[in-house]
Amino acid sequence: MDEEKFDVVIVGAGWYGLIAAATYLQLVPDINLLIVDNSASIGGVWSKEKIYPNLFAQVGHGLFEYSFYRMKKEGLSPDRYISGQTIHDYLNDFARDYDLVRRIRLNVQVTKVEHLDGSGWRLYCHDGHTIRGDKIIYASGVSSDPYTPTIPNKDFTKPVIHSSQIPSSLEALQGPETKRATVVGAAKSSYDTVFLLLKAGKSVDWIIREEGAGPLAIMPPRLLGVLNTVDVMATRALAAFSPAICNTSGLWYKFLHRTRVGRAMTKFFWRNVTRAAEHHAGYSKNANAAKLRPEPHGYGIFWCNAGLGLASVPNFWKVFHAGDCTVHRTEIAELSDEKFITLANGVKIESDYLILCTGWTANLGSFDASLRAKIGLPSQADFSKAWQKLDMIGEENVNRLLPMLKTPPDTTRRTTERRPWRLYRRLISPNLTAQGDRSIFFPGQIHSVYTPLVAELQALWGIAFMLGMIDVPEKEDMEVEIATWNAWTRKRYLEQGRKHAYSIYDYLAYIDTLCRDLGINTRRKSNPISEMFTPYRPSDYNGLIKEFLQAQKQKGALKDAYHD
């Protein structure tokens, strides 16, 4: 089979891959571009085969879209949260309207990625054919492959599925033969699954590891019963109360994070937000509900140790408290005897269905260990003394700039060794860049509620980098930036920060950083009051590419004037 050749190959047809393709085509219209995805439909985690009724995004309408492409007002909850079907339709409409459909190949699994020094990349696909690309945009994100733990099985015959398989199992889950189901995990998908089962009248056993990060911190749909939570999270006012490594200048930073009074106010603010969230959830109603209280207790909403979620489905807590759901803070010891699950604490439960809501992993198996270490992806081969020294520098930087994070709570009960991502601006390899190789970047390796806008800025930054339109620091400076970010996210978001580049409250500071690199204005509102207290929406950034090109033009004019 002949090898195909493209100027650009994008892996992933979700939020990050689609906007990367549209951005590249706008900057270089005649580019020979291909998008591949291993799903059967467009959308990534919002593909047709991964959505089901009562699945809602944790973001309100108007906040979960590209800056220049409006989402239809349909499939919304009473609190404006968007259904999975609406998001799937939006991404398919976007692909159609921006002439991407003909460039997309579905059901293509990349099994190996090979770096051709100085001449691009070769992708090996599951069917044996190869694709060569001068440039690769690896946009599969951190939620591309289902994570399924290994559980000892002795003659258990009932269905065992990952939450990603719920759409294809929906009829059986809701049918009369399923009377009692077991849900494993504390990710957002577990809350959605428990809600789905309880609404269908099923009895549920919910298993959350005692030695893990604990339950998800859940925000109520509305703060103080009035303010839409996601709207508040999209303001600079709330962002100011989060110690962010990308936001270490200005009066708000100096007061809230560099003075004792400011830090006391910050702790008071988060304690009260957590108290409001816990009251809304009703953890104190009984011992069963108390098992879902996020850790560390009292400040769970601030630390987001197990992640942050929103009760985006209508009446989640009302349905939970009224339904037949038993929470077990333990783990499964084994499956046995056709339909029985034995827990580590000795309890034996009967189950007609086992759903593993155990999250996702980044699809990095196609990169061998040495290549992962070379280009800055998590790798067992990453043991260099140089990085150990850099990590110490990063830790010192965070402690100096953000004293509140100097001694974060110790929430780890089980030692989990994790290899960090080592990408500058969470996008590019410092090693390859130092060699003059700008042929790859990795959008989507950062966790934020506001995925579309982050994806749009990452796409523009990454493609501008590929085209040589922006400058980057020397390798040593990039490595210090990486080490400092990794130290920050690890200390700021605890277990989530150890897993990946978690930035749930700090997306505006991250976007500001990318905008400054691109020469784009970071202040998008009409006045200082709006700038601080009104929600930032993707539409505030409409015209990014035009603004970037204008900045490039001015930059060129300045260079010409200097040389003259």
Q: Are strands 348-350 and 340-343 parallel, antiparallel or unpaired?
A: antiparallel
Q: What is the reported pLDDT for 223?
A: 75
* pLDDT tens, position by position, 470-505: 999 999 999 999 999 999 999 999 999 998 899 999
Q: Name the one residue in this structure whose structure tokens are 């759903």.
A: 355
Instruction: Mark 100-128 as b/e (b = at least 16 C-beta within 10 Å).
Output: beebbeeebebeebebeeeebbbbbbeee
- Sign of CA pseudo-dihedral 424, 454, 226, 79: negative
* Centroid of chain to Cα 235: 19
Q: Are strands 4-11 and 130-138 parallel, antiparallel or unpaired?
A: parallel
* Mean pLDDT score across all residues of the chain: 92
Kindly state the average pLDDT of the residues 335-340: 92
Q: What is the reported pLDDT for 289?
A: 96
* Centroid of chain to Cα 508: 15
CA atoms of 421 and 379, how far apart (whole Å): 9
Quickly state the pLDDT bin for 559 (edges 50, 70, 90): low
Q: Which amino acid is at 274?
A: T
The domains of the chain are located at 4-145+361-555, 146-214+323-359
Is pTM beyond 0.85 here? Answer: yes
Q: What is the reported pLDDT for 220?
A: 80
CATH of domain 4-145+361-555: 3.50.50.60
CA atoms of 170 and 174, how far apart (whole Å): 6
Q: DSSP state, 540? A: G
Q: What is the reported pLDDT for 81?
A: 85
Asked if pLDDT for residue 510 goes beyond 90, the answer is: yes
Q: DSSP state, 76? A: B
Identical fold for domains 4-145+361-555 and 146-214+323-359, yes or no, is yes
Rounded percentage of the chain residues whose pLDDT exceeds 70 = 95
* pLDDT tens, position by position, 238-275: 999 999 999 999 999 999 999 999 999 999 999 999 99
Q: What is the reported pLDDT for 434?
A: 96
Quickly state the pLDDT bin for 412 (edges 50, 70, 90): low
- Whether the CB-CB separation of 321 and 282 falls below 8 Å is answered with yes
CATH of domain 146-214+323-359: 3.50.50.60
Quickly state the pLDDT bin for 415 (edges 50, 70, 90): very low
Asked if pLDDT for residue 294 goes beyond 80, the answer is: yes
Quickly state the pLDDT bin for 413 (edges 50, 70, 90): low
Query: What number of other Cβ atoms are within 10 A of residue 82's Cβ?
Result: 28
Q: Name the one residue in this structure whose structure tokens are 């893990």.
A: 212
